[in-house]
Amino acid sequence: MRTLNQILNEELNLYLTTWNYHWNVEGAQFAALHDLFAQQYGALQPLIDELAERIRALGGRPETDVVVRIDGARSAPQMLAALAEAHESLSRKLRQEAIPEFESSGDPGTVDLLTRAVQLHDKAAWMLRASAR
């Protein structure tokens, strides 16, 4: 459960950061980025719920220890870069560490969930990077 709880906490951190940026984005791209950030934190919420429910289904308890201090004064380009890096980092961690762990333990249900999370993070990072151009 340790790995899934770590992922749950990282997802929650990303969710809260994205939501904060949604509130605080400014500039010429305000409307587009405000909507993009809303779409992205909206996509994270069901993933977070599914992760917590997976932990319960496997007999564990979701444990959260999230302390987020977010600089809402960042510029739009800084927000885009920070979120893209966070999505890419989570995707990399899932692909390189978590999925192999659950494949080796014979847990295809968790592998499927984490594979869908990788797809979500890869798409989000792409959209953020494309918006920064």
Domain that holds residue 94: 2-131
The C-alpha angle with vertex 123 and arms to 120 and 127, in degrees rounded to 5, equals 135
Write the CATH number for 105: 1.20.1260.10
Q: In total, how many domains does the chain have? A: 1
E strand or H helix that includes residue 16: helix 2-24
> Rounded to whole angstroms, what are the CA distances from 121 to 37, 64, 72, 90, 117?
13, 21, 22, 7, 6
Q: What is the pLDDT of residues 15-65, one digit of tens each?
A: 999 999 999 999 999 999 999 999 999 999 999 999 999 999 999 999 998
User: Which tens digit of pLDDT belongs to each residue from 70-123?
Assistant: 777 789 999 999 999 999 999 999 999 999 999 999 999 999 999 999 999 999
pTM: 0.94
